[in-house]
Amino acid sequence: MAEDKKKLWGGRFEKSLSDLSREISESISFDKILYKQDIRASLAHAEMLAKQDIIEKGQFENIQKGLLQVEKEIEENKLEYSFELEDIHTHIETRLTEIIGDDGKRLHTGRSRNDQVAVDTHLYLKEVIANQKSELIDLLENIFQKAKENQKKIWPGYTHTQIAQPVLLGHYLMAYFWMFFRDINFLLFAEKDCDKMPLGAAALAGANYPIDREFAAKKLGFSELYENSMDAVSSRDYQMTYHFFAAKLFIHISRFCEEMILYNSSEFQYITMNDAVTTGSSIMPQKKNPDIAEILRGKTGRVTGNLNALLMNLKSLPLTYNRDLQEDKVYLFDTAKQVSYGIKGVSEILLNVEFHPEKALENLEKGFAQATDIADYLVSYHKLPFREAHELTGKLVAYCEKKKIYISSLDESQIKEVLGQYTLSKKVILISECINRKQGTGSTSEKELSVQLKKAEICLEGLK
């Protein structure tokens, strides 16, 4: 068993940790990515200690110089990591003391790794969120542009995966714009939750020194402090909120990907994904598979799983810090990475897709997508009660099905054969005419879609 001479708590222990326990308890293999946040927080803490005369100014200056050197060594891949030193906090402090000597041992005055890991992850998540906010804005812009380009093209609207009514392609795409727009609002909640500083809680009860938490918070860019030291070290709400956001986002991503995969199939052929987002098969030479959309759809399981993992980790966990909490970073770092892939991946698919409205129109005809409009016409023009109009239109659909013809190709005598005295004008039986008949804010008419696009533009501006 390796000698434990570097342990932070050596004083009280006689035997060292077993090799297996050491392996179970290490977090350096994943928390090393927190080095920047850890050093930043240590610099602020040390400066506060000096300002409050808890350490001397010269000691702070040494600590500062030493921490910057440790940072450089990490960035140049020169720092050796070992399970014995458990986590990034211990690695940095140990190396600092090796470099500057005894002054390094003063850095941990009035703090604990409990508030240290909490402040590091708050800082980390704040940065992640700032980046992902702008990635999401880029995605919204891409969807908006696509919707604008395709403002006039007709697209099938579905319910129950059955053709329902025609809509504009731009309107269809904007449905995703609003989904992702709401996700940004959710992300902003998470951003707010991260903007609270836990540092100064020390182990759980506060520090035995005249610390100035407000000073450190200002240095680190936090707008608020945790009001309660016990809550500060045990809360993972800021991570929960982020995972809720990520899970909701990925549910939306999975719905988008599912439709792209379906519409790209040889059965639908509504879209073609180009080579940038498709891959071939090792055995079937004809294949072009929509792998990127499939992988993103699959990642939904992983991201919602990470949310569940954190929830289960926290369930019934007593106050305050418990080592269970070390696991939170595994879920957090993974989800943060997948979220960026997800957001950028959706843009990548969207930018590499060609839409085929002519194929979509064919299916709208096959699906008798103007049927509701015909029933409504019988109500408004011939003053039939809706139930009767519905019944009559149903008969018209059945007639077309039997004869294997589209409603739009019916001639006057055929219409008479089914509807008797109730005539239908040519305009009423055309799919393309259904669009602008739709009324009310948020409907698919060209007029309302322009209103919607204007509103989206204002919302996008508001986010910048």
At 224, give phi and psi (nearest 5°).
-135, 165
| Residue 353, CA distances (Å) to 160, 167, 272 in order | 24, 19, 6
Instruction: Kindly tell me which residue out of 91, 113, 196, 299 binds ligand ARG, with binding defined by CB under 6 A.
Output: 113
281 is catalytic: yes
Residues 140-179 interacting with ligand ARG (rule: CB under 6 A): none
Using CA atoms, how far apart are residues 362 and 384, in angstroms rounded to an integer?
Answer: 30
67: tokens are 């921490």
60 vs 238, which CB is nearer to ligand ARG? 238
**Residue 228 and residue 321 in contact, taking contact as beta carbons nearer than 8 Å:** no
From 75-83, 193-201, 299-307, 323-331, give the range in contact with ligand ARG by CB under 6 A. Answer: 323-331
Give whichever of 118 and 392 is closer to ligand ARG, judged by the CB atom: 118
Among 172, 321, 355, 422, binds ligand ARG (CB under 6 A): 321
Quickly tell me which residue has 């001479």 as its tokens. 5
We find the least distance from the C-beta atom of residue 126 to ligand ARG, in angstroms, to be 18
Does 243 qualify as catalytic in the annotation?
A: no
Interacting residues with ligand ARG between 185 and 244 (CB under 6 A): none
Q: Please identify, using beta-carbon distances, which residue of 323 and 402 lies nearer to ligand ARG.
A: 323
Where are the extended beta strands (E) located within 223-355? Answer: 224-225, 271-273, 353-355
Q: Is 114 in the site for ligand ARG (CB under 6 A)?
A: yes
Closer to ligand ARG by CB, 15 or 323: give it.
Answer: 323
Span from 260-268, 309-317, 320-328, 413-421 in contact with ligand ARG (CB under 6 A): 320-328
Per-residue binding string, ligand ARG, 69-88, x by CB under 6 A, is ------------------x-
- Total chain residues near ligand ARG (CB under 6 A): 10
Closest CB 205 distance from ligand ARG, rounded Å = 14
Establish if 326 lies at the interface with ligand ARG (CB under 6 A).
yes
- Pick from 117, 136, 174, 202: which binds ligand ARG (CB under 6 A)? 117
Kindly give, in sequence order, each residue whose CB lies less than 8 Å from that of residue 189, ignoring residues fewer than 6 positions away: 241, 245
Q: Token match 């020194």: residue?
A: 209
Gyration radius (Cα) of the chain, Å: 31
Ramachandran quadrant class, 356 (left: phi over 0; alpha: psi -120 to 50; beta: rest) = beta
Which of 25, 265, 281, 432 does the annotation list as catalytic?
281
CA–CA distances in Å: residue 181 to residues 120, 139, 187, 307, 451 = 29, 10, 10, 21, 17
Task: Count Cβ atoms within 10 A of the Cβ of residue 402 and give its class: 0-12 exposed, 13-18 middle, 19 or more buried.
Answer: exposed
Residues 6+ apart with CB under 8 A from 229: 200, 201, 202, 204, 205, 206
User: How far is it, in rounded angstroms, from Cα 376 to Cα 369?
Assistant: 13
Enumerate residues 6-65 that contact ligand ARG by CB under 6 A.
27, 31
Q: Is 393 in the site for ligand ARG (CB under 6 A)?
A: no
Region from 93-101, 273-281, 322-330, 359-367 binding ligand ARG, contact rule CB under 6 A = 322-330
Binding site for ligand ARG (CB under 6 A): 27, 31, 87, 113-114, 117, 321, 323, 325-326
- Give me the active site residues, please: 160, 281
